[in-house]
Structure 1
Amino acid sequence: MPEYEDPHHWDGAARHYEQTAHPFTALFAAAALARVPLTQDSRVLDVAAGTGALTLLAARTGARVLATDFSPGMVDRVAASNLPNVDVQVMDGQALTLEDSSFDAVFSIFGVMMFPDWRRGLAEMARVTRPGGYGVVATWQDRGAATFLLLGQIRDKLFPERAGMAMPAGIQALSDPADFAREMIAAGYRDPHIEHVTHDYLLQTATLSDPDALFGMSPDWTSLSDTDKSAVVDEVRTMAGERAVLPIPSTALIAVARR
């Protein structure tokens, strides 16, 4: 089983994820929210919520938000916000223990794309969305984003003869807008609209002093020898030059559909 399919892996990574990935994914969560009208009467579900980038932003609208994730460690970080209009629950997004048609808007920001049965995850999202409600899914393009994307690019340059990490099947399948739209319709949604949204991941070059913390969640990193890792770090420093921050343009696809 890949690490990203193991809830215990995410339990251990939750605090690090909250500090590093959360602020970046929140940029895309904000873009997703901007495409859906929410009110204080809205019921919102965040599937595979992670540390709650979407949940916390949606809660600011006054909507009632339920954040679910299969990782108790991730759910605990959302619960720590202590927001009165946010509920949390440990739950498998491939088998939501929720009633049909019970939410006005259902989001998954870089979550369903990681599921072993991502089609089932999409179908479950549609099942719990009320008729006329919204389903919103964000996924990366097939090379990933942020440090995953950077590391893949550097590996291609330094070690072109070596195969890199295969992206999860959901990311590969949904990285083309036409395919993404078809899958949203097959799941039970209608009129999907797919947009490319790009933001820079701002890599602080000072963090290169601890590259295992920076790249350690990627199998593309852990499979390298110490010599190879040093070569990767040197390449990043060369790319950054004198800059304290190296921007890594990263593009997501955001699908918005109706039930």
Structure 2
Amino acid sequence: MKEYENADHWDKAARTYQQTAHRFTARFAEAALARIALTRESDVLDVATGTGALALAAARTGAKVLATDFSPGMIACVAAAGLPNVDTRVMDGQALDLPDESFDAVFSIFGVIMFPDWRKGLVEMRRVTRPGGYGVVATWQSQGAATFLLLGQIRQKLFPELAGMTMPEAVQALNDPGDFARELIAAGYHDPQIEAVTHDYLLEISALDEPDTLFGMSPDWTSLSDVDKAAVIAEVRQRAGDRSILPIPSTALIAVAKR
């Protein structure tokens, strides 16, 4: 089992993820939300919610939201926000314990792409979407994003002989908008519209004082020796120069499809 397919891994990483990634992924969640209209009558499902970037943003529109994830630690982060119109349940997105055709909009923002059987995840999303409703999926481009993207670039420069982190299968399979559209149609959706969205991850150089917190979720970091880690930190500082923040442009594909 790959590390990112293990709920225990995400339980342990939940608080760090909330501190280092939530604000960044929320920008893409908001971009996804902007592509459909929700009302106070809308029933919304967030599959593989993580720390709830999409679920909490959707709830602020007044919609009724169910946030699901296979990680109790991630679900606890969402529940701690205390929003009255957000319910949370620990649940496997590859086998949703939910009735057919029960949600007006079903989202998965960088979630279903991590599943071992991501095609089953897409089919499950479609199954619980009401006719006339929407499925919305976000995936990273093939080299990832934020600190994962930066680490991959630096490793390739400094240690080209070292194999880099293997990206989830879905990230590779959905990297092309045409392929992404075909997979959504195969899952039972129709008329998929796919757009590239880019935002900068703002890496605060002061965070390099605690690099294990900043980079520790990535195998590209944990697999390095202490000497190599020091070389990576030096390279980041060199790239930043006199700046206190190093922007890392990161691109996602956001798909909206009809049921």
Q: Does TM, scored on the shorter chain, surpass 0.5?
A: yes
3-state SS of paired residue (1:247)? strand
Partner of 1:5: 5
Counterpart residue number, 1:173: 173
Partner deviation per Cα, 1:111-152 (whole Å, 9 max, x = no partner): 000000000000000000001100000000010000000000
Task: State the partner residue of 1:145.
Answer: 145
SS of alignment partner, residue 83 of structure 1: coil
In the TM superposition, what is the alpha-carbon distance from 1:83 to its structure 2 partner? 1.1
Counterpart CA distance in 1 for 2:258 and 2:137 is: 12
Alignment TM-score, normalising by the size of structure 2: 0.99
- How much does 1:212 deviate? 1.2
Task: Give the secondary-structure state (helix, strand or coil) at the position aligned to 2:17.
Answer: helix
1:205 is aligned to 2:200: no
Q: Match of 1:92?
A: 92
CA deviation vs aligned residue, 1:43-96 (integer Å, no higher than 9, x gap): 000000011000010001111000000000110111111111110000000000
How do residues 1-259 of structure 1 correspond to structure 2 at under 5 angstroms?
Answer: 1-259=1-259
Residues in 2 aligned to 1:250 and 1:205: alpha-carbon distance in whole angstroms: 18
Give the Cα–Cα distance (whole angstroms) in 2 for the partners of residues 20 and 154 of structure 1.
19
In percent, how many aligned pairs have the same letter?
A: 75
Counterpart of 1:211, as a letter, is P
Q: Report SS of the residue matched to 2:21.
A: helix
SS in structure 2 at match of 1:94: coil
Q: RMSD across aligned C-alpha pairs, in angstroms?
A: 0.6
Q: Distance in 1 between matches of 2:126 and 2:25?
A: 23
CA distance in 1, matches of 2:189, 2:240: 43
SS at match of 1:104: strand
Cα distance in 1, alignment partners of residues 220 and 13 from structure 2: 17
> SS state of the match for residue 16, structure 1?
helix
Unaligned residue ranges in structure 1 (runs of 5+): none
Local SS of the residue matching 1:144? coil
Distance in 2 between the 1:57 and 1:165 partners? 31
Alpha-carbon distance in structure 2 between the residues aligned to 1:113 and 1:31: 18
- For residue 125 of structure 1, what is the amino acid of its counterpart? M
Q: Could you list the structure 1 runs, at least 4 aligned residues long, displaced by more than 2 angstroms after superposition.
A: none
What secondary structure sits across from 2:231 in the alignment? helix
Distance, in Å, in 2 between the alignment partners of 1:157 and 1:84 is 48
What amino acid does structure 2 have at the position aligned with 1:254?
Answer: I
